[in-house]
Amino acid sequence: MSLAIPRPSLVEQAAETLRRALREGVWVERMPGERELSRQLNVSRPTLRAALEVLHTEGWVKVAQGRQRQIVGRAKGAAVERLRTVGVLTPLPLQEIPPFALCWMDRLRELLAQAGLQLEIHSGRRWYSRRPEKDLAALTQQAPAGAWLLLMTNERMQRWFMKSDLPAVLLGSTYPGIELASVDFDYRAVCRHAAGQFLQRGHRRIVLLMESEEGAGDRESAAGFLEAFQTRTGRVATPIIVHHAGTPESIRHHLQRLFSATETPTAFLVARSMPALMTASELMRRGLRVPRDVAVISRDSDYFQEYFSPQLARYNADPEIHARRLSRIVCKMVTGDTSRSNCVRIMPRFFPGESLGEVRRGA
């Protein structure tokens, strides 16, 4: 007779993990498909199906032919447990998220943990398509959250969340007609100030370089950039707005076109930190001296810019401020305050660096 304590089988372990998720209300109405569940549990499809059959026998789920399994049993405390999760939506995999965003996300995770909340990141481009409504509905049903943080959103996404009445806060600016809470930099003021810096230094052909797919914050950037020229008195200056495709090749192409013209630009305001670095290095590769021949300001900042010489003029932000502002809004949302009028705009500090040059008298 063996006295060894029998170990639970992999099927039993998978079934218990799924039971716990159902008790805590991780999914609403339906469970994810088999492919997603097997990925999350790190088990084979046959093992998963056996575990799901156990749950079906116990009355937790109901199987419909050709459809996801419907949830028919759940503990009474599930709704309370569900509020402890805060979902983050991003189109980028973690390794491609800019360092500044990773810093405030990490600090936000700590602040939310102190409040008993858990941050859960969902990355994928299917929620950012031209018609994301069906995929967004599936995600928010399968992985419900007490609040959603939305990064790099398009207008269709913003409109869907507004109509869904789900508690959500944008990491960015809202499009016209959208009522959602948001936290963003005051890009309108930033770009108005940056253009003013160039004008003070006597520049007359000034470029704002941004990606082709304009976000709401990029539209605010363009508006502020143009305002600096509208209020300018004295010598005529020409604002030039150029959209690239978000790749180094596209940036090189547009710079080639600009410097092939009869009148060439002498100043660049570049949106986002990596394109700013690319622009400055490409200008120098072309034999242009920064800032003697051409001046550069980066609208955004990131830590890796410290390792570029000459140091880029840029607008520095503190990830701690971002995290604390977001934490306050999110904690209110999960307790029932779904106010959509909470729009926070942060003005970053201007760092003149070494890429701007001196103010010219009489400019």
Upstream peptide bond of 93 is cis (omega within 30 degrees of 0)? no
Residue 337's CB is within 10 A of a number of other CB atoms, namely 12
Look at residue 54 in the predicted model and tell me its pLDDT.
Answer: 85
pTM of the model: 0.75
Residue numbers of the chain with a pLDDT score lower than 50: 1, 3-5, 75-82, 362
Q: Are 14 and 48 in contact (CB under 8 A)?
A: yes
Look at residue 65 in the predicted model and tell me its pLDDT.
Answer: 54
Look at residue 55 in the predicted model and tell me its pLDDT.
Answer: 83
Look at residue 8 in the predicted model and tell me its pLDDT.
Answer: 63
Residue 98's CB is within 10 A of a number of other CB atoms, namely 16
Give the torsion through C-alpha atoms of 250, 255, 258, 260, to 10 deg: -110
Q: In whole angstroms, what is the distance from residue 350 CA to residue 347 CA?
A: 9
Look at residue 270 in the predicted model and tell me its pLDDT.
Answer: 98
pLDDT tens-place string over residues 75-112: 444 444 446 899 999 999 988 888 899 999 999 999 99
pLDDT tens-place string over residues 111-154: 999 999 999 999 999 999 989 999 999 998 888 899 999 999 99
All domains of the chain in start order, with CATH? 10-71 (1.10.10.10), 81-186+320-346 (3.40.50.2300), 187-316 (3.40.50.2300)
Which residue, among 199, 203, 341, has the nearest Cα to 266 in the 3D structure? 203
Share of the chain above pLDDT 90, in %: 63
